Structure 1
Amino acid sequence: MQVTVRDNNVDQALRALKKKMQREGVFREMKLRRNYEKPSEKKARERAEAVRRHRKLMRKRMEREGY
C-alpha cells in the first residue's frame, strides 16, 4: 500500500493511509487475529456476516424498488 506525501503534508498522507487501510479491512483483520478463534466460532461468525450482508442488500433493493 502506498500513499504519496504532497507539500510535506504528512498529516494528510496519514489520513489517506488510514482510509485505505480501513477500506481494505486491515484493521478488522488485525482485530480478528489478535486472539485465536476456534474453527466452529469462525464458521458461525462468517455465516452471521453473510446473513447480515444479504439482509442489507435486500433492504437496499427493496428501497430502490419502492416497497
Structure 2
Amino acid sequence: MQVLVRDNNVEQALRVLKKKMQREGLFREMKARSAFEKPSEKRVREKAEAVRRHRKLARKKMQREGLIPGPKRVARPSR
C-alpha cells in the first residue's frame, strides 16, 4: 500500500492511509489476530458473516427489481 505525501502535508497522508487500510479490512484482521479464536467460535463467526453477505445481496437484488424501495438519498447543498 502506498500513499503520496503532497506539500509536506503528513496529516492528510495519514488520513488517506487510514482510509485505505479501513477499506482493505486491515484493522478488522489485526483485531481478530490479537487473541486466539477457538475453531468453534471461528465457524460461528464465518457462518454469521456468510448469512449477512447473503441477506445484503438479496436485499440489493430486490431493490434493483423494484420489490423494495432503495436507500434514501441525502440532498447535498449545491455550491
- Give the TM-score normalised by the residue count of structure 1: 0.95
- Amino acid corresponding to residue 10 of structure 1 in structure 2: V
Larger Rg: 2
Q: After TM superposition, what 4+ stretches of structure 1 lie above 3 angstroms from structure 2?
A: none
Q: Distance in 1 between matches of 2:38 and 2:27?
A: 20
Instruction: Answer yes or no: is 1:25 the counterpart of 2:25.
Output: yes
Q: Deviations over 1:26-52 (max 9, x none)?
A: 100011111110011101101110110
Alignment-derived partner of residue 63 in structure 2? 63
For structure 1, the residue ranges without an aligned partner over 5 or more in a row are none
Alignment-derived partner of residue 41 in structure 1? 41
- Give the TM-score normalised by the residue count of structure 2: 0.81
Aligned residues: 67
Alignment-derived partner of residue 6 in structure 2? 6
Q: Distance in 1 between matches of 2:60 and 2:24?
A: 23
User: Aligned-pair distance for 1:64?
Assistant: 1.1
- Amino acid corresponding to residue 35 of structure 1 in structure 2: A
Q: Flag the structure with more relative contact order, 1 or 2, with Cα contacts below 8 A and sequence separation at least 6.
A: 1
Q: Deviations over 1:7-66 (max 9, x none)?
A: 011111001100110011110001111111001110110111011011001001101101
CA RMSD of aligned residues (A): 0.7
